[in-house]
Amino acid sequence: MTQPTSPSASLNNPRSWLVLGFFILLVVGVGGLIGTQSIPGPWYESLTKPPFNPPNWIFGPVWFTLYVLIAIAGWRTFAVVGGDWVKGLWIAQMLLNWAWSPVWFNLQQVWVALAIIIVMLATILLFIADRWNRDRLAAALFVPYAAWVSFATLLNLSIAILN
């Protein structure tokens, strides 16, 4: 079995920069597309929200920034030899991330969305734990993501309970 290696040696070539571009386009592009198809509407506006609910305008800039960080961490993770477990975690958190908005805004299933975000948070934390001693930068790029998803989990739970 091949041991995972540090990604630094395989990131400094022109092909690698193209792969980074692909990761950013994929993550930001799919996230943006889902965001435009899952916008807050009258249903969301009618929900009772906790006093710490941020204004709607904050979500776009936050998610754009987080998606870039997620993409860079993914690029670094997929550059290593081996490490299928952590690559699977990265893919899982991304699929859960992309699933949350349609379930919340389109299907209006706040409790199902809560289940999704809890599993997503767990995969994010597992990713950080796995990368911390192998690729500290990839792990660190996920820390703001973990913080935001932790906040979003509390917000999701609060709105579900209030409604």
pLDDT beyond 60 at 50: yes
Give the CATH number of domain 7-40+55-162: 1.20.1260
In whole angstroms, give the CA distance from residue 141 to residue 25: 17
Q: Residues 61-119: pLDDT tens digits?
A: 999 999 999 999 999 999 876 778 999 999 999 999 999 999 999 999 999 999 999 99
Confidence of residue 3 (pLDDT cuts 50, 70, 90): very low
pLDDT beyond 90 at 136: yes
Its pTM surpasses 0.95: no
- Containing 2, the helix (H) or strand (E) segment is none
**What are the sequence ranges of the domains in the chain?**
7-40+55-162
Whether the CB-CB separation of 67 and 97 falls below 8 Å is answered with no
**What pLDDT is stored for residue 156 in this prediction?**
98
Nearest to 59 by CA among 82, 75, 40, 79: 40
Confidence of residue 17 (pLDDT cuts 50, 70, 90): confident
**What pLDDT is stored for residue 100 in this prediction?**
96
Q: In this prediction, what percent of the chain has a pLDDT beyond 90?
A: 77
Q: Which two tokens stand for residue 67?
A: 């998606």
Nearest to 105 by CA among 29, 52, 46: 46
What's the number of CA atoms in the CB half-sphere (13 Å) around residue 155?
A: 17
Mean pLDDT of the chain: 91
Mean pLDDT across 41-57: 94
pLDDT beyond 70 at 18: yes
In whole angstroms, give the CA distance from residue 1 to residue 115: 35
In whole angstroms, give the CA distance from residue 118 to residue 125: 11
**What pLDDT is stored for residue 113 in this prediction?**
98
What's the number of CA atoms in the CB half-sphere (13 Å) around residue 100?
A: 19
Q: Which two tokens stand for residue 155?
A: 């917000």
